[in-house]
Amino acid sequence: MIRSFISIDIPDELKNAIKALQEMFRKCDADVRWTRIEAMHLTLKFLGNVEEKQIEDIKKILKEIALQTPLINIKLNGAGVFPNQKVPRVLWVDVIENDGILDSLQKRLDAELSKIGFEKEKRGFKPHLTLGRVRSQKGKERLVKLLEDVKDKEFGAFTAEDIKLMKSELRPEGSVYTELARFGFSAKY
């Protein structure tokens, strides 16, 4: 079985801006397990454990969808928490895409992959980059106050040119990601 997901990469220069944000949040001494900056990505769909024989079917679907998807202009803007500020569990940076392409891409992936046995998402798609996972309520007030300071901060923009099928290996030092395949967007607006 291969634990896998579908994602969009974040350019290194934007990862550096997010790393600076993480450093600012670290100073509030909250109990957060921080996402390693080199592992930062935009998840479109988590597949879970996949049998090796399914990988080729997944690749065919991703290739077909990518061919019908235009380049996607994405902005990273502001930060927040899931589910809410009273009980923060996941600290994130907001991913904004105004043309509806990202939402359409995620819905298409969900629909096509459900045809080969992958469960459709039950929750609505909220594109974000996970900064860290809150482990306890220690430092919560300081964390929430800092969130207010950066709720409208712009971290940059980029154009997504492809999607990736990734392998995720859980290790004591954190997840290790390996690219299994990449599919470039090529449709015109």
CA distance 93 to 76: 7
Active site residue 118: no
Find all residues with CB under 8 Å of 13, minimum gap 6, and list them: 156
Strands (E), the chain: 2-9, 32-34, 41-50, 72-83, 88-96, 128-134, 154-160, 162-169, 176-184
Catalytic residue (one of 14, 74, 91, 128):
128
Catalytic residue (one of 15, 41, 45, 140):
41
Find all residues with CB under 8 Å of 60, minimum gap 6, and list them: none
Active site residue 170: no
Which active-site residues does the annotation give? 41, 128
